[in-house]
Amino acid sequence: MTRAEFSLLLPVYAGDDPVFLRRAFESSVQQQTLRPSEAVIVQDGPVPAALAAELERIVESSPIPTRVVALPENQGLTVALNTGLEAVSYPVVARMDADDVSVPDRFARQWGLLEQGYDLVGTGMTEFESDPAVVSATRVPPVGAERIRDHARSHNPFNHPTMMYRTAALERIGGYEPFGKMEDYWLGVRLIADGARVENIPDPLLNYRVGSGAFARRGGWSEAKTEWRLQRELLRMGFVTRGQYARNVVLKGAYRLMPAWVKRILFRKIVGGGLPGDR
């Protein structure tokens, strides 16, 4: 690659806040030292009038070509992302969520590694509740192919909303696959197993908004069952040993079933890598 040509992929659904969306978009376009070549916003189903109006304003005022791909019904993040991947015009895609904030040099730094031949580059990120300047936690991902692979055997090695990747790498594994709220972890594992060149920038290049109910959503029987299903798949494909599988089933399952306040305390202690399905 000689020119920085890449697409911004941003999914939106009815529950997103118009103000947060505007900030997310501007931080990823107007405020970037290296701007995307285009932006593709996937509207996952009908949205309220205020959000629809904000989408129109964004398209009209954007300094780069921007279009909204609207799905007639809400179909979930996996379908929205795959739809966006089919709509982009460039071979590299930068992910963004509708309520987070990108650091100004995020894409420039990620692009620098993609130019070196990497297929996927993630970054560290900070968590905040209302003000991005007030950090509640910092997630530092593993760096280097060996550490990333080892980490992936027990934790999600990538902060999903920070990902920047080559579409060809995702096409080789069939794109995103439905896996509860863990489609991002499953994607990363499949890319690693397929031989993709992956890397992380440890510095926090994205501010991730955490709502008050985030830890409650990370648990319950449904999440525990998804966790156990994921571990079975990792064992089936030979990504983990039987010992690692047994450990993960017990520890990860127990985490999912803990009360939200306990998960919050534990998560803060091991937030350097995060837990599968945390985003």
d(CA 84, CA 78): 10
* Whether 89 contacts 5, CB under 8 Å: no
The whole-model pTM stands at 0.88
Burial class (CB in 10 A: 0-12, 13-18, 19+), 222: exposed
Q: What is the DSSP letter of 275?
A: -
What pLDDT is stored for residue 216 in this prediction?
42
DSSP-based three-state secondary structure for 186: helix
Per residue in 215-264, pLDDT (tens digit) is: 444 556 677 788 889 999 999 999 999 999 899 888 877 766 666 545 55
Mean of pLDDT values over 109-113: 98
Quick one: what percent of the chain has pLDDT higher than 90? 76
Mean of pLDDT values over 10-22: 97
Count CA atoms closer than 13 A to 221's CA, side-chain side. 0
Mean of pLDDT values over 83-110: 98
Beta bridge partners of 122: 200
Place of tokens 């830890």: 215
What pLDDT is stored for residue 271 in this prediction?
45
DSSP-based three-state secondary structure for 43: strand
d(CA 61, CA 211): 29
Over 60: is that where the pLDDT of 277 sits? no
Over 70: is that where the pLDDT of 214 sits? no
How many residues appear in the chain? Answer: 279
Per residue in 34-70, pLDDT (tens digit) is: 999 999 999 999 999 999 999 999 999 999 999 999 9
What pLDDT is stored for residue 269 in this prediction?
55
d(CA 74, CA 45): 4
Closest to 198 in 3D by CA, of 230, 175, 165, 176: 165
Closest to 69 in 3D by CA, of 122, 82, 61: 82
175 vs 213, more confident? 175
Over 60: is that where the pLDDT of 276 sits? no
Over 50: is that where the pLDDT of 274 sits? no
Neighbours of 8 (CB within 10 A): 28
Mean of pLDDT values over 92-111: 98
Per residue in 157-197, pLDDT (tens digit) is: 999 999 999 999 999 999 999 988 889 999 999 999 999 99
Closest to 81 in 3D by CA, of 90, 72, 94, 66: 94
* Whether 192 contacts 148, CB under 8 Å: yes
Mean of pLDDT values over 81-99: 97
* Whether 119 contacts 166, CB under 8 Å: yes
Mean of pLDDT values over 195-217: 82
* Whether 131 contacts 23, CB under 8 Å: no
State how far Cα 71 lies from the chain centre. 20
What pLDDT is stored for residue 119 in this prediction?
98
Mean of pLDDT values over 119-139: 93
Neighbours of 20 (CB within 10 A): 16
Please, what is the Cα angle at 30 between 29 and 32, to 5 degrees? Answer: 65
Give the contacts of 183 (CB within 8 A, at least 6 positions apart): 77, 78, 176, 177
